[in-house]
Amino acid sequence: MSETSFDAIIIGAGVIGGAVALELADRGHRTLTVDKAPSAGSGSTINSCAIVRFSYSSVAGINLAWEGMHYWKDWANYIAAEDELGLIEYHMTGQLVLQQAGAETHAARVKMLWDEMGIPHEVWDTATIKERCPYIDPSLFGPPMRPADDAFWKDPTGVIERGYFTPDAGYVSDPQLSCHNLQRGAELRGGTFWFNAEVTSVDREGGRVAGVTLADGRAPKAPIVVNVAGPHSYLINQMADVYDTMNIKTKALRHEVHHVPSPDGVDFDRVGITVADDDLGIYFRPEVGNHILIGSGDPTCDPREFVDPDRYERSLYPDQYEAQVLRANRRLPGLGMPHERKGIVDLYDVSDDWIPIYDRTDLDGFYVAIGTSGNQYKNAGSAGQMMADLIEAVEAGHDHERDPLVVKGRYSGVDLDVGFFSRNRQINPNSSMSVHG
């Protein structure tokens, strides 16, 4: 087959890859996005909880999320293209971060950073939580445990005295559609997408990246290749021979999210909000059809299963379903335990400190936007801008290693500190070491 030349090849058509493609195409780069899946967003993005929040453990993480939220609010103008499937809706429900017992908690750090950075929020005391969310039991049950532990069933030890509510937070109900929107936006700007296109080689020429080779024999050429392959990112890095040169690595983590009907008498579609609940080791948000989506906050009592991204158990584990739904029952009385287990199993692309890597690599022209699954969906727009700014700066001669790039978010004007997300950083001691980031 004849080779085709592009300015940049993006590996991965998930939400981050789609945003990188749109941003580069918008700046006049002729882009090709390749994905082994049959359509945009069919990888790990399709099962994302798609929560938009600012409850990160670092200034850089919160800035990226705060800037990213503005893209969802302005989605139609950002995409600026027709999509025959329609455009996503941003459900701005707000998010409540519950303050569990103890001063040195993730919630306490989030509150400190929000105060420092001026992120709009309200402090809700116990009475306010009950008034605003009468379906929530504000008792203290933690720390998180498994139902097999007798202590799981103990009486509450007190009440949650406060929570921190951010009204601008929310969720996107159709994460795969958001990827299709990004594809249409990138295509309108001249971008190309190839699906069922599995990368088997990252090619070099003259000491820099030169393109990729696909399983079907096609070998598109480009002087820039961006690895946005989600849970497969470490495999792509191995193909490019840059895996061992990175101090921070990524791997694929199996994860479950469960769907349950709302408690009787609660219209969660109308009154539900997103809640981060480290006291019980869960988070939850409204889901279409008056359901509730329940995810894990990765408490230490829950096992972590790192897997081969092409071979892992795709059915729900009964014990994990029971653990997460029973935890949610304590916070949401009347939820019950459905007879039919419903939920999804997918993968997180997790870095060593649960903070993503947005960076160049030791192979000139080869860039990475990885370690993003689980906590970066909401940052797609701002990550796309940041990666495009980084690529253009480095390709123009900027020494990102000695002078880490800092760029301004186009909506909020906040600093996007690209160097914070370096592949060669030390493990961040302030990270939550969980999906919170």
The span from the CA of 355 to the CA of 57, in Å, is 10
Contacts for 115 with CB less than 8 Å, ≥ 6 apart: none
Q: What pLDDT, on a 0 to 100 scale, did the predictor assign at position 2? A: 45
State both tokens at 248: 């921070």
pLDDT at 101: 80
Q: Could you give the CA distance from residue 353 to residue 397 in angstroms, rounded to a whole number? A: 30
Select from 414, 254, 227 the least CA-distant residue to 350. 254
Q: Which helix (H) or strand (E) holds 78?
A: helix 75-79
Helix (H, G, I), strand (E, B) or coil at 415: strand
d(Cα 434, Cα 422) in Å, to the nearest integer?
19
* Per-residue tokens: 59: 């200034």
241 sits in the region (left: phi over 0; alpha: psi -120 to 50; else beta) called left
Which amino acid does the sequence have at 389?
Answer: D
> Taking Cα atoms as reference points, which of 435, 436, 410 lies closest to residue 69?
410
The residue with tokens 């689980």 is 374
Boundaries of CATH 3.50.50.60 in the chain?
Answer: 8-87+174-249+353-421
- In the chain, DSSP finds a helix count (H) and a strand count (E) of 10, 23
Q: What span, in angstroms and rounded, lies between the C-alpha atoms of 314 and 49?
A: 17
In eight-state DSSP terms, residue 356 is -
Is domain 92-170+252-351 given the CATH code 3.30.9.10 in the classification?
yes
Cα–Cα nearest to 20, from 418, 384, 392, 395? 384
The size of the chain, in residues, is 437
Cα-only R_g, the chain: 21
The residue type found at 174 is D
CA distance 424 to 416: 18
| Interior/surface letters 347-359, b for 16+ CB within 10 angstroms, e for the rest | bbbbbbbbbbbbb
Pick the CATH number of 8-87+174-249+353-421 from 3.40.630.30, 3.50.50.60, 2.60.40.2220, 3.40.50.150: 3.50.50.60
Cβ-based neighbour number of residue 131 at 10 Å = 10
**Which residues, other chains included, contact 303 with Cβ-Cβ below 8 Å and sequence gap of 6+?**
none
Number of CB atoms found within 10 A of residue 374's CB: 25
| pTM > 0.75 | yes
Distance, first Cα to last Cα, the chain: 43
The single residue listed with the structure tokens 């099962």 is: 47
Residue-level pLDDT, tens digit, the chain, 437 residues: 346 999 999 999 999 999 999 999 999 999 999 999 999 999 999 999 999 999 999 999 999 999 999 999 999 999 999 999 999 999 999 999 999 887 689 999 999 999 999 999 999 999 999 999 999 999 999 999 999 999 999 999 999 999 999 999 999 989 999 999 999 999 999 999 999 999 999 999 999 999 999 999 999 999 999 999 999 999 999 999 999 999 999 999 999 999 999 999 999 999 999 999 999 999 999 998 999 999 999 999 999 999 999 999 999 999 999 999 999 999 999 899 998 999 999 999 999 999 999 999 999 999 999 999 889 999 999 999 999 999 999 999 999 999 999 999 999 999 999 999 999 999 999 899 999 99
Q: Residue 36: phi, psi to the nearest 5?
A: -70, -15
- What is residue 176's three-state secondary structure? helix
Nearest to 144 by CA among 324, 332, 413: 324
What angle is formed at CA 326 by the lines to CA 323 and CA 331, rounded to 5 degrees?
125
Place of tokens 């009787």: 264
Task: Return the pLDDT at 282.
Answer: 97
**Residue 134, burial from CB neighbour count under 10 angstroms (0-12, 13-18, 19+):** exposed
Q: Which two tokens stand for residue 160?
A: 């949650």
- Parts of the chain belonging to CATH 3.30.9.10: 92-170+252-351
Task: List, in order, residues 6 or more apart from 262 with CB less than 8 Å away.
Answer: 268, 269, 272, 290, 291, 292, 335
Q: Which secondary-structure segment (H or E) carries 65?
A: helix 59-73
pLDDT of residue 104: 85
Alpha helices in 288-347 (DSSP H): 318-331
